[in-house]
Structure 1
Amino acid sequence: MRGTQHIGITVPNVDEAVDFLVDVMGCESFFSFGPFGPFDDDWMAKNLNVNPRAVIEIITMVRCGNGPALEVFQYTSPDQDANPPKNSDIGGYHIAFYVDDINVATDYLIENGVQVLERPHPLTGGASESGGL
């Protein structure tokens, strides 16, 4: 393996997600396509482990600095659960970005209408302090 190429994230609205990633976070959208499906066979189930009648309405690739690209999906599916997972749920996720000043970055997010749960808590000692997390 050479590294991570992209991470896929399913969102309820690709346009809103990409607008946020580009306009607020400063990422670059570089490729979109879709819809993908529906298929008359079980291709979606066999290849993506989703309902055979699922459709990927649109996929947009977004690059954020030097990290892996984000592949932002918008699905429709007969068995779709519209409730996003919590971080503690199986399939829960988060994305972390490098910034030069965490407090300035937090203020910027708040000024741009992003809900910030709490101010940053510096982690001291061990791997977390050296960026090893």
Structure 2
Amino acid sequence: MSDKASFRGLEHVGITVPDHAEAVRFFEEAFGAEPLFSLTDKRRAPLRGEDIGAKNGLLRDTAIVAVSMLRLGNGPNIEIFEIDRPRGHRAASISDIGISHFSVTVDDIDAAAERFAAAGGSLLEGPYRLSGQEEGAGNRGRFGLTPWGLLIEFEALPAPMAYDPGVTATRWLPAAANDQEET
């Protein structure tokens, strides 16, 4: 018997940014993201919280003025929102409750970091060797901040990872670029 409520996987991550066009440009240049669709026509009325808030949690006194869906390699899509009156004045940090960052798997962490910085991101210290269950020959990580302060992690994971005793599932990782089939 099939489970009709089974979950297939993470499809997209939504990110609210201060400048929609700048964020789309950054993801294109830093990650090679491909825009799939955009609702950025400034002639149309914004999507107001009063009208759609019950469906998606948008606050009554705010509105979505631009939104785009971007394809990011062989993983979840990125949905970029610009809100006319966003709440908060800084991006969440790893110390805050809620989603603090997302990680991208890369083949060459140095090249990925260089591309990220060239697009306008700022890099934190690193790269560093991964530890614990992620430790392995060549397994390295590095964090960076987007121009608006979103924390993004890069991980190069050429060596297999360890798992806790008795675990039967394994961590999902995107296929290497040369392993992807044409679609």
Q: Is 2:81 the counterpart of 1:73?
A: yes
One-letter identity of the residue aligned with 1:23: E
Does the 8 Å CA contact 1:106/1:119 hold for their aligned counterparts?
no
Which residue is 1:96 aligned to? 103
2:26–2:120 Cα contact (<8 Å) kept: no
Change (3 A) 1:23 1:55: same
Report the 3-state secondary structure (helix = DSSP H, G, I; strand = E; otherwise coil) of the residue aligned with 1:21: helix
Which of these residues, 51, 75, 93, is aligned with residue 86 of structure 1?
A: 93
SS at 1:97's partner residue? strand
The equivalent position to 2:34 in structure 1, one of 28, 31, 39, is 28
Q: Is the 8 A contact 1:44 1:54 kept in 2?
A: no
Segments of 5+ residues of structure 2 without an aligned counterpart are 1-6, 137-159, 162-170, 173-183
User: Which amino acid in structure 1 is aligned with residue 53 of structure 2?
Assistant: A
Select which of 13, 17, 25 maps to 2:19: 13
Deviates more, 1:5-14 or 1:87-96: 87-96
Tell me the secondary structure at the aligned position of residue 47 of structure 2: coil
Residues 126 and 83 (structure 1), Cα distance of their counterparts in 2 relative to 1, 3 Å cut:
closer
Deviations 1:17-55 (A, max 9, x none): 10010122211011011554226xx44332222321321
Larger radius of gyration: 2
Count residues with an aligned counterpart: 130
Give 1:60's match in structure 2, choosing from 68, 79, 85: 68
Query: TM-score w.r.t. structure 1 length?
Result: 0.81
What amino acid sits opposite 2:25 in the alignment? D
Unpaired runs of 5+ residues, structure 1, are: none
- Paired with 1:37 and 1:107, the residues of 2 have a C-alpha distance of 37
RMSD (Å), alpha carbons: 2.4
Deviation at 1:99, TM superposition (A): 1.2
Instruction: Note if contact 2:48-2:63 (Cα within 8 Å) is conserved in structure 1.
Output: yes
- Residue identity matched to 1:32: S
Partner of 2:122: 115
Following TM superposition, by how much is the alpha carbon of 1:84 offset from its aligned partner in structure 2, in angstroms?
A: 1.9
What's the offset of the Cα at 1:16? 0.6
Secondary structure in structure 2 of the residue aligned to 1:109: helix
Sequence identity percentage: 32
TM-score (norm 2): 0.61
The SS at the match of 2:38 is strand
